[in-house]
A and B are shown apart, each in its own frame.
Chain A
Amino acid sequence: MKPQPLNEKERENLIAYLDGELTGKAARQVEAKLATDPSVRREAESLRKAWELLDYLPKVQASAEFTTKTMDRLAVQKSAATKSWLRWKPWVWAGGWAAAMLFLSFVGYSSMVRFLTPPNANPPQLVQETKPLELHALDVSDDIDFLHRLANPDDMELFLKDNRM
């Protein structure tokens, strides 16, 4: 049987196998292909050799003063951060003081109001208690004249009329 060329997934697995990233069943499948198919062996060999050619790339070294330059730049940044904090420091303090004063003034004012106002100076609860009674009376009577007459103890006619009924 003529060997089939590798498909994309098989090629991915072959490369992962060469990188030592393949284990288990997938690794065994690649090993079986390599053992039986010379074209797969050739492909693996060419991929390995192309990879090894990268060893010829020069190793780039940092310039001799790199560390010193980096540490200097760090020192500059630190000093800039400190200067910036020093510039803002008085404003931060002033803001803090202003906020504290505002809070204390509010607390003082609230305490004074509470202390100086006599108890029961404004009893809203009485109004709330009377209102439902009045409303109830109106609901029953449906007539304001009837209520006025009821409030008048001299108006005997009202009771007389009831007796007649």
Chain B
Amino acid sequence: MATIGETTGQLSLRDPDVRLMARVREDDPSAFQELVEKYHHRLINVLCHLVGNQEEAEDLAQEVFLRVYRSRKKYRARAKFSTWLFTIANNLALNSLRQRKRKPVVPLNVRDSGPLGPRPAEQLVRDPDYHPGGRLAREELADVIQRALDTLNERQRLAVLLNKFEEMNYAEIAKVMNLSTKAIKSLLSRARMNLRAALKDYIFMDGEIVPDVPEGQD
């Protein structure tokens, strides 16, 4: 986390992405490609869990990178590059979710659509390391956890994803979400209470039951 008064020079010494972004500012296309390659998986992972759709997540991620490029001349290294990147992603994703609420779309199940109807069995390539029991259990669990994550509101979900997957501290999340550190502390507390309530049946407590505590509010 960049401290107040930290100069661009000091930051670029610590954050190689700031140096990379300085090259992007000088219109170096290879530096921009390097940034895209470095961050695209991380960005799409967070966006996909946030919006719940890989295609939409990729479109949003593409728009995030294009905005980074368009804003390159205005970029001033006041924080880590990743904080700036996820700030842009946060704005775009929340706008997209708000628009979706105004114009709800019904997702079409790909397997049941198209001229061939359900997808032919030969197209479902089987994983060579396929173990029916273990894999199914893991997939089911992942599904349950995704649903638990979906019970959180958008802000709680984003804070959880940034904390868990991006390992951002409260101050960094506050910067990305344009909130105070105190607000993030409270937001994450409520999010984790809600998550625990949603995952209660899947928490193994060595024979003890999960404490029955009130859920966090929105």
Contacts and interface: CB of A to CB of B under 8 A. Distances in A.
Nearest to A46: B210
B2 interface: no
B45 A50 contact: no
Contacts of B29: 71, 74
B108 interface: no
A21 B185 contact: yes
A151 interface: no
Interface string A1-21: 000010010011001100101
A127 to B, nearest CB: 61
Given A42-B208, A56-B145, A57-B146, A16 B44 contact: no
Contact size class for A? 35 or more
Interface stretch (A60-68, A99-107, A110-118): A60-68
B145 A53 contact: yes
Given A66-B61, A70-B65, A77-B66, A46 B149 contact: no
B32 interface: yes
The dominant DSSP class at the A interface is helix
A16 B185 contact: yes
A11 B189 contact: yes
A58 interface: yes
A164 interface: no
Contact of A47 (B37, B196, B204, B208): B196
Nearest to A20: B169
A51 interface: yes
B58 interface: yes
The 4 closest A-B pairs by CB, nearest first: A50-B196, A60-B48, A12-B189, A62-B40
